[in-house]
C-alpha cells in the first residue's frame, strides 16, 4: 500500500466516486436515446431499467458498512470496482432489456459499496480535523464524473457500446488503484472515546422526517436523471449528441452543491431545503417548456445540478448531525431514501410518458416538488434539544464530523484531552491490522 496525503486521498477518492457514481450510475440517462433506439425499448421499459440500479444501490448500502468492517476498506472498494467493471461491460454488450437491466443492476451495487469503503479508509489515512474537507472533495466526484461523461456522448453517442466499454476500462483501473492506495484495515476509533448514546425517540422522529423529504426529492429528480435527454430528442427534435451539454451543465453546477450545503448548515437548513426543491421543480418545468432550445435546456440543467447536489449534501450533513457517532446509519438513511424515491419515480414517470406525454409527466413531477417545498418548515432541526444555548453549536460539515467521536461529557473527542495520540487507535474489531506493505 502506498501512503497518501490528505489532499492526495481526497483527489483519489473523488476519482473513484466519479467512476462509481458519475459513470456507472448517472451517465445512463445521457445514453437513453441511442440505447432506446438500438434495443427498441419503450419509455415504460426505460423507467423500469432506470430503477434497477437504484434498487441494487439500496441493497448494497444496507450491507456496505458491515462489509467495510468485515472485509476491510481495500477489499470493499475493490469489490465495488469489480461490480462496476462487470456492470459497465454488460451494458456495452447488451442485446436487450434483460442484459441491459443486469448491467445497470451491477452498477448500482458498485455505487452502494464505494462511499462506505472510502469513508472507512478516510478514518485511517486522514487526520480527523480534515474529514469535513476531504469528504466535500470526494462528494464532488459525482459532479466530475457526470461532466466527464459529456465527451463520450458528444463523440460516441452513435456508438454507445464503445463509450460504455471505455467506462469499464476506467473502472478496472479504479480496482487496481484501490488495491494500491487503500489500506486493508476497517474503520478505527480511539479506545477511550465514549460510545454513542442510545438513539432517542426524538432522533428517530427527525430521521423519519428527513427520510421523507429525501424520498420526495429522489422521486422528483428521477425525471431529470433518466428522461431529460430523451425528452430533448423526442419532444425537441435535437440530436442525441447535443444532450451531452445537459450533463456538462449538471456537473459544473453540482460542484457548488457542497458550498451551498455547508452554508445551509450555518444558516437555515429549512429555507435552503425549500429554495432548492423549488429550483429542482423549476428545472423540470423549464426543460419541458423548451426542449428544442439548447441554451434554455442547458440553463435548466445548471439549476438542476446545483439544486440536486445541494440537497444531497444537506441531507448528508443533517443525517450526520442527527446521529452523532453513527456514521454507518445517520447519513446512510437519507441517501437510501433518495434512491428509493428515484426507484419509485422512474417507472411511474415512464407510465405517465407512455399515456400522457412528456409535458404532463414533467409538469406533474414539478408540481410535487413545489408542494413538498412548501412543507419545508417541518424539515428536522439538527439538534436533539432546541434551547438557545445548543443552537449556538458550531456548524458546517467539519463540525458535524467532529461530533462523531465524543468524550464522556458529550464534547468532541480530541487526543490531547486525555493524553492519547494517534498511536492509541485500535480497530473496532481489533482486526485486521493496517497493511503497511505495498
User: Given this model, what pLDDT does residue 137 score?
Assistant: 81
Beta bridge partners of 188: 427
State how far the Cα of 216 lies from the Cα of 396, in Å rounded to an integer.
24
User: Given this model, what pLDDT does residue 241 score?
Assistant: 67
State how far the Cα of 135 lies from the Cα of 31, in Å rounded to an integer.
29
Nearest to 437 by CA among 188, 186, 185, 183: 183
Nearest to 111 by CA among 31, 177, 18, 225: 18
User: Given this model, what pLDDT does residue 217 score?
Assistant: 96
Low pLDDT (below 50) residues in the chain: 383-392, 415-438
State how far the Cα of 73 lies from the Cα of 178, in Å rounded to an integer.
9
Contact 143, 208 (CB under 8 A): no
User: Given this model, what pLDDT does residue 304 score?
Assistant: 94
Nearest to 380 by CA among 213, 238, 257: 213
Contact 41, 49 (CB under 8 A): yes
DSSP H or E run through 426: strand 425-427
User: Given this model, what pLDDT does residue 299 score?
Assistant: 93
Q: CA-CA distances (angstroms) from residue 210 to 107, 182, 183?
A: 26, 32, 33
User: Given this model, what pLDDT does residue 140 score?
Assistant: 81
User: Given this model, what pLDDT does residue 391 score?
Assistant: 41
Verify cis geometry, omega within 30 degrees of 0, for the bond prior to 370.
no
- Hey, what's the cell of 221? 429528480
DSSP reduced 3-state for 23 = helix
Nearest to 68 by CA among 78, 59, 58: 78
DSSP H or E run through 190: strand 188-190
The pair phi, psi for residue 41, each rounded to 5°, is -100, 140
State how far the Cα of 106 lies from the Cα of 114, in Å rounded to an integer.
13
A 10 A CB-CB count for 356 gives 12
What are the chain's domains?
1-188 (1.20.1250.20), 199-385+394-408 (1.20.1250.20)
User: Given this model, what pLDDT does residue 278 score?
Assistant: 95
User: Given this model, what pLDDT does residue 400 score?
Assistant: 57
N- to C-terminal Cα separation, the chain: 4
Evaluate the CA torsion angle 367, 372, 373, 375 in order and state its sign: positive
The whole-model pTM stands at: 0.79
User: Given this model, what pLDDT does residue 49 score?
Assistant: 93
Q: Where do the H-state alpha helices sit in 267-402?
A: 269-289, 294-322, 332-356, 358-373, 388-391, 397-402
Amino acid at each position: 500500500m502506498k501512503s497518501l496525503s490528505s489532499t492526495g486521498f481526497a483527489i483519489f477518492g473523488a476519482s473513484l466516486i466519479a467512476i462509481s457514481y458519475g459513470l456507472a450510475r448517472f451517465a445512463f440517462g445521457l445514453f437513453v436515446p441511442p440505447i432506446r433506439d438500438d434495443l427498441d425499448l419503450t419509455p415504460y421499459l426505460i423507467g423500469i431499467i432506470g430503477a434497477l440500479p437504484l434498487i441494487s444501490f439500496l441493497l448494497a448500502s444496507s450491507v456496505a458498512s458491515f462489509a467495510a468492517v468485515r472485509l476491510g476498506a481495500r477489499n470493499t472498494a475493490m469489490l465495488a470496482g469489480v461490480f462496476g467493471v462487470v456492470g459497465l461491460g454488460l451494458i456495452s454488450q447488451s442485446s436487450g432489456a434483460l442484459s441491459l437491466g443486469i448491467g445497470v443492476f451491477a452498477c448500482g451495487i458498485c455505487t452502494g459499496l464505494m462511499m462506505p469503503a472510502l469513508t472507512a479508509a478516510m478514518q485511517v489515512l486522514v487526520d480527523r480535523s480534515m474529514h469535513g474537507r476531504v469528504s466535500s472533495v470526494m462528494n464532488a466526484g459525482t459532479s466530475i464524473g457526470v461532466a466527464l461523461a459529456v465527451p463520450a456522448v458528444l463523440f460516441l453517442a452513435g456508438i454507445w457500446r464503445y463509450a460504455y466499454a471505455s467506462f469499464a476500462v476506467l473502472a478496472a483501473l479504479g480496482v487496481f488503484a484501490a488495491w494500491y492506495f487503500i489500506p486493508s484495515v476497517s474503520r478505527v476509533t480511539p479506545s477511550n472515546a465514549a460510545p454513542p448514546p442510545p438513539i432517542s425517540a426524538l432522533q428517530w422522529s427527525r430521521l423519519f422526517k428527513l427520510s421523507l423529504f429525501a424520498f420526495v426529492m429522489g422521486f422528483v429528480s428521477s425525471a431529470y436523471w433518466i428522461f431529460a435527454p430523451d425528452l430533448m430528442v423526442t419532444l425537441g427534435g435535437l440530436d442525441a449528441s447535443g444532450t451531452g451539454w445537459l450533463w456538462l451543465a449538471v456537473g459544473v453546477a453540482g460542484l457548488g452543491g457542497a458550498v451551498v450545503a455547508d452554508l445551509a448548515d450555518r444558516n437555515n437548513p429549512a429555507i435552503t431545503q425549500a429554495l432548492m426543491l423549488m429550483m429542482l421543480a423549476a428545472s423540470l418545468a423549464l426543460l419541458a417548456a423548451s426542449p428544442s432550445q439548447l441554451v434554455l435546456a442547458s440553463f435548466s440543467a445548471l439549476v438542476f445540478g446545483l439544486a440536486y447536489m445541494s440537497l444531497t449534501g444537506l441531507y448528508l450533513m443533517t443525517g450526520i448531525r442527527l446521529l452523532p457517532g453513527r456514521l454507518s446509519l445517520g447519513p446512510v438513511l437519507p441517501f437510501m431514501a433518495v434512491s428509493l424515491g428515484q426507484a419509485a419515480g422512474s417507472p411511474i414517470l415512464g407510465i405517465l410518458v407512455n399515456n400522457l406525454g412528456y409535458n404532463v409527466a414533467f409538469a406533474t413531477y414539478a408540481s410535487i416538488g413545489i408542494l413538498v417545498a412548501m412543507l419545508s418548515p417541518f424539515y428536522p432541526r439538527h439538534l436533539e434539544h432546541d434551547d438557545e444555548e445548543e443552537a449556538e453549536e458550531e456548524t458546517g460539515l467539519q463540525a458535524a464530523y467532529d461530533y462523531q467521536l465524543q468524550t464522556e461529557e458529550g464534547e468532541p473527542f480530541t487526543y490531547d484531552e486525555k493524553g492519547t495520540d494517534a498511536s492509541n487507535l485500535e480497530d473496532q474489531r481489533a482486526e485486521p491490522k493496517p497493511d503497511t506493505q505495498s
